[in-house]
Structure 1
Amino acid sequence: MRVGKAVAVSATVLVLGLGAAACNDDTASTSAATTAATAAATGAASKSAPAPTSSGKASTRCHTADLKTDVQLQPDFPGSAMVMLTNKGSRTCTVNGYLGYGGLGADNSPIVTGSSRVAHPGAPVEVSLKPGTSAFSGVKWASCDKADPKCKVLAGITVTPPDETTQLTANVIGVDGKPVDQLTVSAAGFTVGSLQPVNQGVVFAS
Structure 2
Amino acid sequence: MNPRLSRPTLAAVTTVALGLGAVACTGDADPAPSKTAAGAASGGGTGGAAGAFPARSSAARVPAAAGGQAASRCHTSELKADVQIQPDRPGSAMVMLVNKGTRSCTVFGYPGFGGLLADNSRIDVTTARVAQPGPPTQITLKPGTTAFSGLAWAPCDKSDTSCRVLSGLVVTPPDETTQLTAAVIGTDGKAVPQLTVSAAGLKAGTLQPSNQGVLLP
5+ unaligned residues in a row in structure 1: which ranges?
1-56
Aligned match for 1:168, one of 180, 192, 198 = 180
What is residue 195 of structure 1 aligned with on the other side? 207
Distance in 2 of aligned mates of 1:186 and 1:168: 23
* 2:71 and 2:106 in contact (8 A); partners too: no
The answer as to 2:110 corresponding to 1:102 is no
Q: What secondary structure, in the 3-state scheme, does the structure 2 residue paired with 1:65 have? A: helix
Q: What secondary structure, in the 3-state scheme, does the structure 1 residue paired with 2:77 have? A: helix
The answer as to 2:126 corresponding to 1:120 is no
Q: What secondary structure, in the 3-state scheme, does the structure 2 residue paired with 1:111 have? A: strand
Distance in 1 of aligned mates of 2:147 and 2:124: 25
TM-score, with normalisation over the residues of structure 1?
0.70
Aligned match for 2:78, one of 66, 73, 79 = 66
Aligned residues: 149
Q: CA deviation at 1:175?
A: 4.1
Q: What secondary structure, in the 3-state scheme, does the structure 1 residue paired with 2:212 have? A: coil
1:151-171 residue CA offsets vs partner (Å, 9 max, x unmatched): 111001010000111111000
Q: What secondary structure, in the 3-state scheme, does the structure 1 residue paired with 2:83 have? A: strand
TM-score, with normalisation over the residues of structure 2?
0.66
What is residue 12 of structure 1 aligned with on the other side? none
Q: CA deviation at 1:59?
A: 6.3
1:111-136 residue CA offsets vs partner (Å, 9 max, x unmatched): 11111000000001100000000000
The answer as to 2:160 corresponding to 1:151 is no
- Percent identity for Structure 1 against Structure 2: 66
1:2-32 residue CA offsets vs partner (Å, 9 max, x unmatched): xxxxxxxxxxxxxxxxxxxxxxxxxxxxxxx
The answer as to 2:90 corresponding to 1:78 is yes
Higher fraction of helix:
1
1:128-155 residue CA offsets vs partner (Å, 9 max, x unmatched): 0000000001000011111212111100
